[in-house]
Structure 1
Amino acid sequence: MVRSSLQVIGCLLPLAIASRLSSNQPGLCQQADSLFPGKVSYEGSLAYSSSQSAYYTGEERNLDPGCVFTPTSTADVSDFVKLVASGDISTPKFAFRCGGHSFFAGAANIDQGVTIDLRSLDSFELSEDQKTASVGGGSIWSDTIYTTLEAYNLTVPGGRIPGVGVGGFTTGGGLNYLGRKIGFSCDNVYGYEVVLASGEVVYASATSYRDLWLALKGGTNNFGIVTRFDLATHSQGLLMGGALVFNVTQEVLEEHATAFSNYMNPRNFDWLAEMEVDLVYDAGSWTLSDALYYLEPELRPAAYKEFFDISGQIEDTLIIANMTTVVTNSGVLVPTTVSRATQMNYSFKNGKADVYTKLFTTFKAAAEKLSSVEGLVLDFLMQPVPVTNGTNSLGLVPNMTDHVLVDIGAAYDNEADDDIVQAAVENIFNLHVDIVKNAGLYIDWTYLNYAGSNQDPIGSYGDLANLRKVSKKYDPHGLFQTAVPGAFKLF
């Protein structure tokens, strides 16, 4: 079954503007326009502005690509890469994007180069035995993937809020609601259809191009452009999802510290229970929310009893619903777009309650010093690291149930506050890392999809030499290291 196309047809740009853009990106936009008539759009067109406005952060939206290329097939992507590879790769620059949820400028967009908007590659097909869902590399999880699979009581491990794309999410790892049961989303990829630096299209799986298959499981955009993901499906009916929201007091923080420490204790492990704790400072006020999910239709499962018993609760949105509804409702907790944003993340092994109390109180004290930053929303997001099977390039120990991931994130209004907010996030990050290091709990691992531009997630995997070897094998001239400057590079 094939999903309806999301293709947006580009409009023609007046000749004078096209000539100006041509001088900024010598030849590549115009060559692509000639090769792919109707699929290259320029500033001033509906297709161009639609692509630009769909990025999550202002940092990405404010970039100014010379043109946007909207391929509608794997052959289009292959022919474009061949076009780039045919010349001097130090000159033509390009980026490729799907959902565009990365925070920092240049992760999936580019100034004056070509941005490839993959969202028209949104095909969907369920295998005859219903064990494999084949999805286009530009698909959005929340569009129809979940709803289509629900008719078969199936799901795939994908994005947890509306608008997240399959491509960057999955090649960066992929946190998902089934993470305690089946690991990262990338752990569940049977195969990738991928366009290499030569323009050749190959299928990487456990039995063909295995080294490339493993490298793409966490190695992001360094090896090629994935135009199709073949994903393992999993049985899934109705589930529980929603949030408990609390006023913030010292007592509430301490009760959460105890509850989360116990939840993460391997003795209490429940693979059906996935959750996030989010302490938020928003315009001078505080809230704490527990986003709770359970893969069975139980409204108050025993795994969360300690959270249900915490005092100070002001809202309860927990419901029994299908995956589509749970994901849609989760989007209410997150703004659809932000003006400015930054984040950093770290990981550690579960500890005693006092460690979490120190993390909470340190964050709270630091955040309250930023009251002058207009529109500031600062959050401390804490959740389990998925229980990986180790069949990836992430470098985590398989089958560990007590590893915690913390994301320190900030959204705010004005570019003029970039330095002060970045410094504050880095300060909180450093204070937190000191706390978990002093407790002997720190894990030197950074989650790529939550990483700040100043972090080195791929370097934290511990397998950089092998990933570089794979890159050299399939991209000997370094096209994806040089011509695609965004995100996290290997060299």
Structure 2
Amino acid sequence: MYRFVLQLLAVALPAVASVVQTCKRLDAQIPGRVFYPDSTTYNSSISSYYSGQERNLNPSCIFRPTKTSEVSQFIKLVTDCGDTKFAVRGGGHTLWTGAANIDDGITVDMRSLNGFDLSKDHKIARLGGGAIFSDVYPKLVPFNLTVMGGRVPGIGTGGFVTGGGITFLSRRHGYSCDNVYGYEVVLASGKVVYATESSYPDLWLALKGGSNNFGIVTRFDLATFPLGNMWYSDLSYNYTDSVLLAHAKAFSNFMKPVNYDSAAMMGVFLYYTGQGFGVSDAMWYVEDVANPAVYDAFTKIPNLGGTSELATVDKVVETFGENLPATTGRSYQLTLTFQNPPAAIYTELFQIWEKRITALANVKGLFIEFLLQPQPVTNGTNMFGLAAGKTDDVLIDMTAAYDNESDDSLVASVINDIVKKQRAFLKSRGYLLDFIYLNYADISQNVLSTWGKTSLTKLQAVSKKYDPKGVFQKKSPGGYKLFK
């Protein structure tokens, strides 16, 4: 046994030493951008990840580029160092281990690459690859404009946009990635290209959902949309059979194509802690209209009160974010998609959740939410394989937050059991869709295969064309890879 341990160390230690040498070479080439363990910048970067899983990883160094040329230099160097692997982070909100951080490698923290520029005609916002949407919105509000960005503070452009991006305007304009004019990308060779519909069109399309498989995006050119005040309401309810039935009926009707209102986006949240169950609704309306009638079925359900106001998008994000912790201990998340069913089907989904979730009652620090929300009404300019213009697809996001790593297996098994039963029930009734939304998925979910063989084949072809050596498949292991 002792000899076996020594053999493992003999393999591991040279690899770690090699990464440290790469860090030192990088530091020499680009001074002031490399930070080592126990430095203030290193510790601040690690502590800012949303989930405990990501905070538990310890890269050999953190690289914080401030311009595209530095990212290019990094890629050229790291591809020349055979043992060195790397991760790329923006906002750092993805939950699972290794999504945007790495043990014994180099983490590229993009948040200093956070430029902002508005085109002369105000139709395009040029955002750095590490820009944070809650920092961008206040810069657009004076122009009565917005972009398709995150709905809570701290969400970064990189993972959000390349993975899809669900926004306040998603029932009108689809996913965030549907609305990107161009990407400035550092390829695996270190070459910098600008991918648009007319230049590098295959890469431009692949980045609309293809995540971190093709390069490091250093700038996103996003379409802007008019938005002055919008309406936001957040109401709480007692968790009773009558409230659940009313929500099942209201949400099923809300999602019917005959009732479609492109300005209306919302989420129904069922939640559970060790103290019991609760219900809340977040409702957003991207017009300057207070108490829009499309939500009457929800606001008329007897409730405990809450927020109801007209405000600019930056204030809405700030207010909604107050409902969420800045970080979590441990986290786990699964998602599924289906076509809107009758109210009775929603009631059964609620019951599946309710019957099983109490198995976690003794998990310390437990908070679990079961979110129902509309899928974006996509224009089809992405890799997801979804029908363009479809207004009645629904997404479930099941997320657990808790304190201790020792509860990982129990939490994962219960959440998986709930989602498995919900999927089976929806499939038996003909409502389940194969599609899995990348930004809400766990790494255990086989996301890319659910987009259809045609999409996966296209993504693989783009990878082979622009990254023939598989740098972003092998040396950047985090994320949903294209080749097994």
Does TM-score exceed 0.5, indicating one fold? Answer: yes
Find out whether 1:480 has 2:472 as its counterpart: yes
Find out whether 1:465 has 2:468 as its counterpart: no
Deviation at 1:24, TM superposition (A): 6.3
Find out whether 1:136 has 2:97 as its counterpart: no
Cα-to-partner distance string for 1:351-401 (whole Å, 9 max, x where unaligned) = 100010011111111111211111111111110000000011111111000
Contact 1:242 1:329 in 2 (8 A): no
Structure 2: how far apart are the matches of 1:440 and 1:396? 17
Find out whether 1:183 has 2:178 as its counterpart: no
Which residue does 1:449 correspond to in 2?
A: 439
Contact 1:242 1:330 in 2 (8 A): no
Deviation at 1:194, TM superposition (A): 0.3
Structure 1: how far apart are the matches of 2:471 and 2:65? 19
1:66 pairs, out of 39, 52, 60, with 60
Contact 2:134 2:150 in 1 (8 A): yes
Contact 1:22 1:29 in 2 (8 A): no
Matches within 5 A, 1:277-356: 277-311=268-302, 313-356=303-346
Cα-to-partner distance string for 1:334-362 (whole Å, 9 max, x where unaligned) = 22110000011000000100010011111
Contact 2:400 2:411 in 1 (8 A): yes
Contact 2:167 2:175 in 1 (8 A): yes
Matches within 5 A, 1:62-211: 62-88=56-82, 91-143=83-135, 145-211=136-202
Partner of 1:199, secondary structure, is: coil
Which residue does 2:31 correspond to in 1?
A: 37
Amino acid at match of 2:382: N
Partner of 2:69, secondary structure, is: helix
Deviation at 1:333, TM superposition (A): 2.0
Cα-to-partner distance string for 1:16-70 (whole Å, 9 max, x where unaligned) = xxx9996262521111111111110111100100110110000000100000001
Partner of 1:222, secondary structure, is: coil
Structure 2: how far apart are the matches of 1:379 and 1:20? 44
Matches within 5 A, 1:418-429: 418-429=408-419
TM-score where L is the length of structure 2: 0.95
Structure 1: how far apart are the matches of 2:204 and 2:273? 42
Partner of 1:220, secondary structure, is: coil
Amino acid at match of 1:235: P
Structure 2: how far apart are the matches of 1:306 and 1:158? 28
Amino acid at match of 2:102: I
Amino acid at match of 1:331: G
Matches within 5 A, 1:253-292: 253-292=244-283
Contact 2:66 2:112 in 1 (8 A): yes
Partner of 1:104, secondary structure, is: coil
Which moves more between the two structures, 279-288 or 187-196?
A: 279-288
TM-score where L is the length of structure 1: 0.94
Partner of 1:30, secondary structure, is: helix
Structure 2: any 5+ residue segments left out of the alignment? 1-12
Structure 1: any 5+ residue segments left out of the alignment? 1-18
Aligned residues: 469
Which residue does 1:239 correspond to in 2?
A: 230
Contact 2:273 2:361 in 1 (8 A): no
Which residue does 2:359 correspond to in 1?
A: 369
Partner of 2:270, secondary structure, is: strand
Which residue does 2:3 correspond to in 1?
A: none
Identity of aligned residues (%): 49
Amino acid at match of 2:52: G
Structure 2: how far apart are the matches of 1:380 and 1:319? 25
Name the CA shift for 1:21/1:438 in 2 (closer, same or farther; >3 Å). Answer: closer
Contact 1:242 1:326 in 2 (8 A): no
